[in-house]
Amino acid sequence: MAAAQLSITVPGFSDVTGHTEYIIKSSVGDQQFTVQHRFSNFVELHDALASKIAKLPATFPVAKNMFNGEAVKRERVEKLQEYLRNVVRLSGEKPPIALLKFLKIDASVFAPPSERSERGIATGDGPYPSSSEPLQRFQPFSGVNAAFVPERPEDVNEALREGLKAGDDALCKELIESKADPLYRDRQGNTPLHMACLFNRTDVAKLLLMAGADMTAKNAAGELPERMASVSLKMKFTHFKRTGTI
């Protein structure tokens, strides 16, 4: 059986308080993943990869520009996408662990089920990270073995946003119950429901709807939350519209 192929796109960016994060969408077979990272995280990723992939340049090939206007960010989106795709191409059939952690992909998705025990994926003894290996909550990325999870902001609404990006459903539930505003908007006009759809956090989307999230709220780009949702989540939205229940 041929190994599953990793594909990557960088469709855009999101302006967060004080900095910009670039959206990275990746897929392996029928599984899809979405993360956001700052430019500095890409540089740290490159530092981890440069010594392992001989054909990568010694320094990160995407220049840092002090003037981060819209045009600069759009150009950087294309260059970051080109860089990540080049890393995948040079890596062959086995993407490096640092890249998988950057994308928050469990490496077991690349191995046929019959090979998992042989490679040690189920126990964590092999060259791949185990899916049961816990990620440290809200630790900034630093180096090849670090978790790409942002530091927790003090503001409950920003904390909910970061929790959605990090995939921490338990934290999101705690914050929603702690009166995080389901109608809060970030600088891109995204509500928590937009973010839950973007990162395919189905359980959190349900909690947000029950807490009063607005399915008709559009972000600055004119997109409804449903526009960002997976097929299965769109079906749940349709059911909610029809019945008022999840």
pLDDT reading at 1 higher than 60? no
Q: Per the structure block, which two tokens stand in for 57?
A: 């340049």
Stretch 143-163: mean pLDDT: 60
CA 69 and chain centroid, separation: 23
Domain boundary among the residues 66, 100, 119 is at 119
Stretch 146-167: mean pLDDT: 68
Stretch 145-171: mean pLDDT: 70
CATH number of the domain encompassing residue 228: 1.25.40.20
- 151 part of a folded domain: no
Q: What is the pLDDT of residue 206?
A: 92
Whether 32 and 93 share a structural domain? yes
Whether 112 and 160 share a structural domain? no
Average pLDDT, the chain: 79
Stretch 148-173: mean pLDDT: 76
Whether 18 and 111 share a structural domain? yes
Higher model confidence: residue 124 or residue 108? 108
Whether 115 and 165 share a structural domain? no
Whether 94 and 17 share a structural domain? yes
Whether 47 and 110 share a structural domain? yes
Residue-range definition of the domain harbouring residue 92: 6-119
CATH number of the domain encompassing residue 111: 3.30.1520.10
Domains identified in the chain, total number: 2
Which residues, 6 or more positions from 165, have their beta carbon under 8 angstroms from its beta carbon? 35, 36, 150, 195, 199
Whether 112 and 62 share a structural domain? yes
pLDDT tier for residue 239 given thresholds of 50, 70 and 90: confident
Whether 103 and 170 share a structural domain? no
Is the CB of residue 166 less than 8 Å from the CB of residue 150?
yes
Whether 113 and 166 share a structural domain? no
- 140 part of a folded domain: no
Q: How far apart are CA 143 and CA 218, in angstroms?
A: 37
Whether 160 and 115 share a structural domain? no
> How much is the CA Rg of the chain, to the nearest whole Å?
19
Whether 74 and 166 share a structural domain? no
- 142 part of a folded domain: no
Higher model confidence: residue 116 or residue 90? 90
Stretch 9-32: mean pLDDT: 86
Q: Is 134 exposed, middle or buried (0-12, 13-18, 19+ CB in 10 A)?
A: exposed
Stretch 207-225: mean pLDDT: 90
Residue 239 has φ and ψ, to the nearest 5°, of -65, -40
Whether 92 and 184 share a structural domain? no
